[in-house]
């Protein structure tokens, strides 16, 4: 698998993120990125973003959800973030979904997070991963990975990814 430098990481963050969306007094931002494995592939290596993998390789897709604003930033805001259990990531060829990646522990994936933005310079972020073993049924080529994590409001970032 090919590893990328910091410039590519910034590119992923721009391409893989959607602009913030307002809903219920919160402003969220959600981005998706692709990462190589650690030495055993049991966990992701968050310092190794990738944009290419061969069929059979394990890829970790990172979902980074940030609360970047709230109506009342001085109180602790509780937000419930959960993956869409049916489809966590859609693998697209053009406009067609060719694969769907559910979260293996979807029932346990709901995260109730307390955020307080007052006095905080940076958005508060939670990160979850979806493990993807690139199956041999995919033809070599460029695909789009569309993340589907937040239910209300629905935010779906898209990231370009090459399968070899």
Tens digit of each residue's pLDDT, the chain (164 residues)? 433 332 233 333 333 444 444 445 667 788 899 999 888 888 899 888 999 999 999 999 988 887 777 666 666 666 666 666 667 888 999 889 888 887 656 655 666 666 666 656 666 777 888 888 998 889 999 999 998 876 666 778 888 999 99
The string over 108-123, giving b where at least 16 C-beta atoms fall within 10 Å of a residue's C-beta and e elsewhere, is ebeeeeebebeeeeeb
State the fold for domain 6-163.
Immunoglobulin-like (2.60.40)
Residue pair 143/163 in contact (Cβ under 8 Å)? The answer is yes
Q: What is the pLDDT of residue 40?
A: 86
Q: What's the pTM value of the predicted model, to 2 decimals?
A: 0.73
- Please state the domain extents for the chain: 6-163
Q: Give 136's Cβ-side CA count (13 Å radius).
A: 1
Strand pairing category for 77-81 and 111-115: antiparallel
Residue pair 91/99 in contact (Cβ under 8 Å)? The answer is yes
């Amino acid at each position: 698998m090919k590893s990328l430098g910091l410039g590519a990481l910034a590119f992923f963050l721009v391409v893989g993120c959607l602009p913030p969306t307002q809903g219920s007094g919160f402003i969220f931002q959600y981005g998706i990125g692709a990462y190589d494995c650690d030495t055993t592939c049991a966990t992701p290596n968050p310092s190794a973003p990738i944009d290419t993998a061969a069929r059979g390789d394990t890829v970790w897709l990172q979902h980074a959800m940030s609360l970047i604003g709230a109506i009342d930033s001085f109180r602790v805001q509780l937000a419930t973030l959960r993956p869409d259990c049916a489809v966590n990531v859609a693998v697209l060829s053009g406009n067609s979904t060719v694969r769907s990646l559910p979260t293996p522990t979807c029932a346990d994936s709901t995260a109730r997070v307390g955020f307080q933005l007052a006095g905080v310079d940076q958005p508060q972020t939670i990160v979850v991963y979806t493990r993807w073993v690139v199956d041999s049924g995919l033809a070599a080529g460029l695909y789009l990975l569309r993340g589907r994590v937040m239910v209300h409001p629905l935010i779906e970032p898209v990231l370009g990814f090459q399968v070899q």
